[in-house]
A and B are shown apart, each in its own frame.
Chain A
């Protein structure tokens, strides 16, 4: 079986490490050999999205160095995957050497659910999860990576799980990185609109493939006193 390098992302590393463990469990059960390059930190997106391309270039350069020899890089985030696969080319436009490295890197970076479906070629990972869940389409996964159906197919094969669609699945949760602290009132209002849509499904759990959206939704749902939990797709697929 192929060797898979995990890029867990900074947010999973520091706030949701259990997502990285869940991803490891799922991939190991499928027979992959897992590698975790220890020098990894962040993809650089926070700086890139905040108007600091130079700082983003440093961090992106570090990422390219750390994952230079990896064959498959699997990431539990649509947003970070898109940053590496799409935006590295933009930020290294004026640097021929780095640009070439970025272009060689792009096809080797896989968002977790897409890796399962297109490389591992499984739809049923043998998971069991009892309960009603609703799925949140994260913006960069949906609009930059065109991931829509895949995570739902994986969820459909989980025993005991009922997927109940919300009416605003494709609506942004309002996180948007530094947007959430630069415009907290707008960001909070967006979250509350999304939560209203979640609440109407009466699902006990919101599932997504991006932990940053889940952090926003979880924080806002806790503030609203709603007993709805958030789980990354990997956590659902790892449960038995």
Chain B
């Protein structure tokens, strides 16, 4: 059972500059989202959420059908679909293709799916250069860090942090103006786009009835990654499928609004197949890599499989009071915040990530803003009971279980409960502040038990 990264969490909480960066960035995203989904701006918002949920449910429950439909439509447009069970299989495919085509340089646009399988590191090990072209991801690649947030990967960094990263890695004088920092990155990256043989993108949606992939972005780098190199590889989880192109009306209305508060992101690209005769740009070869990497395992549980509905908008992170305190890097996987807390144990083991479903006050702010209505608190509760079961099977957590057993016995025996409580009110002050009481006292004053319980006061009141 992995331990809670307690000292790391303390460090994050004590870093006032980092706290301010997390808090102000998430607040800005929250405010923008709130304005974008306000009833005056989007009266059909709640209906869209309901429809998005129904569409995702339908797709996830008929995934086999839509996968086949998608594949045959991609092939009809001159593309190829590659099914991969693991990150290794994805890396093998990319490496094999790069070798065959004598490719040395890859440009990449932002993709959580490739972060999930550590694709860059795998490619680097084989002397294949893969350059991140999203500004935030580019900064993180230089700094050798993983994304802090699903949508805003460098959310934790101030412009002064970015200046330091650029100076250290690019050997340039300190530049703290964000516009100039962008120009520096652009100058470097333009060259890479022109030289690259292969472009790798993610995909926000895979449209079954047309075989198109859709990606949304604000910088134009995903569009360039698709169109500049000769070969385009899109890598996406199998859960990214939607049945029909017309369903995009639902999802595109929700995604950017929930993520950044934009009605639409700056670029929305619909890509299907290779460059056709008469077209001036587009790749000669087009591959869609469909990744499982544990997703089919999640399908087995009818209650928890809704975790696969996620469209990676990041709204649950921004609104989570726990994420807003501990940030992204204290979570064990690239997916952080509430969505990370429910998918990490399902992908990487409930026992191995036992602390994660408990790191929530169950406030429900995540579910309230989720555009596809994933019942995150409900899934957390299910996972909590699976964790205690796993602990029982491992022979650990005995004291806690015994405590809840004893508590449940007391609560079902009112006479014993009242006797215990009256003793408690007399002697509670003598209790040493250790265990849970010590944990409570580390942050706040301990409440006193009342000298007379309501039970007692009620009896007295009746006698009067």
A interface list, Cβ under 8 A from B: 8, 10, 12-18, 20-21, 24, 36, 38-42, 44, 46-53, 55-56, 58-59, 61-62, 90, 139-140, 143-144, 170-172, 174-191, 193, 215-216, 218-220, 222-223
B411→A174 contact, CB < 8 A: no
User: Number of A-B pairs whose CB atoms are under 8 Å?
Assistant: 190
B365 / chain A contacts, CB cutoff of 8 Å: 139, 143, 170, 172
Task: Beyond A49-B381, A139-B365, list 11 extra A-B contacts (CB 8 Å).
Answer: A38-B414, A51-B381, A177-B361, A178-B436, A179-B360, A187-B443, A188-B443, A190-B321, A190-B322, A215-B447, A216-B444
How distant is the Cα of A49 from the Cα of B439 in the complex, in angstroms?
Answer: 18
Q: Which residue of A lies closest to B448 (CB)?
A: A15
| Residues B412 and A179 in contact, CB atoms below 8 Å apart | no
* A90 CA / B385 CA spacing, docked (Å): 13
B99-115 CB contacts (< 8 Å) to partner A: none
Interface residues of B in 363-384 (CB under 8 A from A): 363-365, 367-368, 378, 381, 384
Instruction: Evaluate contact between A143 and B444: CB separation under 8 angstroms.
Output: no
Tell me whether A186 and B13 are in contact in the complex, defined as CB-CB below 8 angstroms, given that A20-B454, A220-B443 are known contacts: yes
* A188 in contact with B442 (CB, 8 Å): yes
**Contact residues on B (Cβ < 8 Å of other chain), bracket:** 35 or more
Measured in the bound complex, the distance between the Cα atoms of B442 and A178 in whole Å is 14
Q: Out of B387, B412, B447, name the residue touching A59 (CB < 8 Å).
A: B412
Across the two chains, which residue of chain B brings its CB closest to A182? B358
For A218, list chain B residues within 8 Å (CB): 445, 447
Contact assessment for B321 and A174 in the assembled complex, using a CB-CB cutoff below 8 Å = yes
Say yes or no: A220-B444 contact (C-beta < 8 A), given A41-B417, A42-B411: yes
Contact between chains at A53 and B385 (CB < 8 Å): yes
Given contacts A20-B457, A220-B443, contact A179 B362 (CB under 8 A): yes
- Please report whether the interface of chain A is mostly helix, strand, loop or mixed according to DSSP: helix
CA distance A179 to B436 in the complex (A): 10
Residue of A nearest to B437 (CB): A181
Contact A47 B408 (CB under 8 A): yes
Instruction: Give the residue of A51, A61, A188 whose beta carbon is less than 8 angstroms from that of B385.
Output: A51
Q: Is the CB of A179 within 8 A of B325?
A: no
State whether A13 touches B453 (Cβ < 8 A). Answer: yes
Q: Which of B364, B388, B414 contacts A39 (CB 8 A)?
A: B414
B454 A172 Cβ-Cβ under 8 A: no
Contact call B443/A52, Cβ cutoff below 8 A: no
Q: Are B361 and A15 in contact (CB under 8 A)?
A: no
Measured CB to CB, the nearest residue on chain A to B417 is A41
A179 touches B358 (CB 8 A): yes
> A53 CA to B452 CA in the complex, in Å?
31
| B424 interfacial by beta-carbon distance below 8 Å | yes
User: Do A143 and B368 have beta carbons less than 8 Å apart?
Assistant: yes
Is A185 a contact of B425 with CB atoms below 8 Å?
no
Residues from chain B with Cβ under 8 Å of A41 in the complex: 410-412, 414, 417
CB atoms of B6 and A139 under 8 A apart = no
B421 adjacent to chain A (CB < 8 Å)? yes
Among A20, A44, A90, A171, the residue within 8 A (CB) of B411 is A44
Interchain nearest-CB distance for B351 vs A (Å):
13
Among B429-464, those with CB < 8 Å from A are 436-437, 439-440, 442-450, 452-458, 461
In the complex, what distance in Å separates the CA atom of A61 from the CA atom of B413?
12
Residue of A nearest to B422 (CB): A14
Chain A CB within 8 A of B131 CB: no
- Given that A14-B421, A49-B362 are contacting pairs, would A219 and B385 also be in contact in the complex, using a CB cutoff of 8 Å? no
Residue in chain B with minimal CB distance to A19: B454
Tell me the smallest distance from the CB of A235 to a CB of chain B, in Å: 13
Tell whether, in the assembled complex, residue A51 and residue B454 are in contact, meaning their CB atoms are under 8 Å apart.
no
Which of B118-126, B262-270, B399-407 faces chain A?
Answer: B399-407
